[in-house]
Amino acid sequence: MSNKQSKYALVTGASRGIGKEMAFELAGRKINLLLVSLKGEGLDDLCREIRDEYGVDAQYFETDFYKYDSVYDVANWAVSDYNPFILINNAGIGGTKAFESVPPEYIDAIIQVNIRATSMLTRLLLPELKKHKNAYILNVASMAAFSPFAFKTVYPASKAFVYSFSEGLREELKGTGVFVSVIHPGPVKTNADVTARIEKQGILGRIGQVSPKELATIAIRQLFNKDPFILPGIVNKINWLLMIMVPNAWKLMILSRVVRKEINAYNRLVRVCS
């Protein structure tokens, strides 16, 4: 059977963390994979491991979504050579820094990866997805989508975009066979840098943690169950209820204090090491 006859799931940000575990979860369901991530993050080894362990096809494409043409390159590769029926927009970046202290390129990168890549890749793959009787789009947002807070300013705004974009697109695509879902993870220890930042936030920053493996299991299961709004874990469900009930000014103050702990811990570490 040729690649164009077989069906594939395309996963961005697939080299580690949530994306990697989603790839394993899909492979366990005997779904072929198209994995996308930055160069030098071991996608070749990951694809080889998946092919050997799960007996499905796994191909990869290395790119940087900060580059303008990258979404076009990925879409052309996926549509020309393969037959995607699932798109998982998992790639995303963030950080914890005072807005004025970062270079403009830092802000631009968050916008390009979290907002532009998600919306543009979806648009470019949508005609192909609509050819299938049943197709799926899963966008990875965040619990941060439900409130602004200081020292992350652009990141929660970008995830609020992903949430709003997903909700509107799902309504627009009703009756087409393409189902759109959005998942809102809480803190997830996806790599050493993120783990260190979570630990510095104190107990409030760690509330609602779900492991990447557990989160991937929930995400893929609920996607195929056509759950439009995925909140992984009971704690995140409670947090969401609290966040929609608490006035925005209170949320802003409380969450900003949590993130400030991370900033202060980092500054203390810098002083000790200098």
Query: What is the pLDDT, as a whole number, of residue 203?
Result: 52
What DSSP string runs through 121-154?
Answer: HHHHHHHHHTTSSSEEEEEE--GGGG---TT-TH
Query: What is the pLDDT, as a whole number, of residue 1?
Result: 47
Query: What is the pLDDT, as a whole number, of residue 4?
Result: 72
Residue 162 CA: distances (Å) to CA of 10, 119, 143, 181? 18, 8, 11, 11
What DSSP string runs through 59-83?
Answer: EEEE--TTSTTHHHHHHHHHHHH--
Cα–Cα dist 29/15, whole Å: 19
- Which amino acid is present at 138? L
Burial level of 66, CB count in 10 A (0-12/13-18/19+)? middle
Predicted TM-score (pTM) of this structure: 0.88
Give me the residue spans of the domains in the chain. Answer: 8-273
pLDDT in tens for each of the 274 residues of the chain? 457 779 999 999 999 999 999 999 999 999 999 999 999 999 999 999 999 999 999 999 999 999 999 999 999 999 999 999 999 999 999 989 999 999 999 999 999 999 999 999 999 999 999 999 999 999 999 999 999 989 999 999 999 999 999 999 999 999 999 999 999 998 865 544 544 444 444 454 455 567 899 999 999 999 999 999 999 989 889 989 988 898 888 888 888 888 887 776 545 433 333 3
Catalytic residue among 8, 155, 163, 266: 155
Residue 66 catalytic?
Answer: no
Q: Considering the domain 8-273, what is its CATH architecture? A: 3-Layer(aba) Sandwich (3.40)
